[in-house]
Amino acid sequence: MARRCPNCGQGPLFRGYLTVRSPCDVCGADNCIYPSDDFPPYLAILVVGHIVVPLFVWVERAYEPPMLVQAAIWVPLTVVLCLVLLPYMKGATIGLCWATNIVRQAPTP
């Protein structure tokens, strides 16, 4: 989750927002071999859902604001939290794949 190379722990894992740096600047490891396409968004949505939904229910019961106010608060908060968490979840997924030696399969002709 530190967004560092799982092999050396020193070099940055990403070149941009979600683009995996290959090879690592420090150790030369190819981090593109670890599949991290679909699982990070699911993790981000799971974490954000467990944060936002209880807060939404609590605010609804405690203050009963109009739905327009609720939408103005919770929709942007959900989007921002998902976008902030996504690189961390992708780094965690790559680290998990590295630790368990799960690599991307070579395409068959």
Q: What is the DSSP string of 45-76?
A: HHHHHHHHHHHHHHHHHHH---HHHHHHHHHH
Residue 23 in domain: no
**pLDDT at position 105:** 86
In angstroms, the CA 109 to CA 104 distance is 15
Residue 58 in domain: yes
Count of the separate structural domains present in the chain: 1
Is the predicted pLDDT of residue 106 greater than 80, yes or no? no
Residue 69 in domain: yes
60 to each of 28, 47, 69, 79, how far by Cα in Å?
Answer: 51, 20, 11, 20
> In 3-state terms, what secondary structure has residue 12?
strand
**pLDDT at position 81:** 98
pLDDT tens sequence across 5-64: 999 999 999 999 999 998 999 999 999 999 999 999 999 999 999 999 999 999 999 999
Residue 14 in domain: no
Residue 39 in domain: yes
Q: Range of 41's domain? A: 33-100
Residue 7 in domain: no
Residue 105 in domain: no
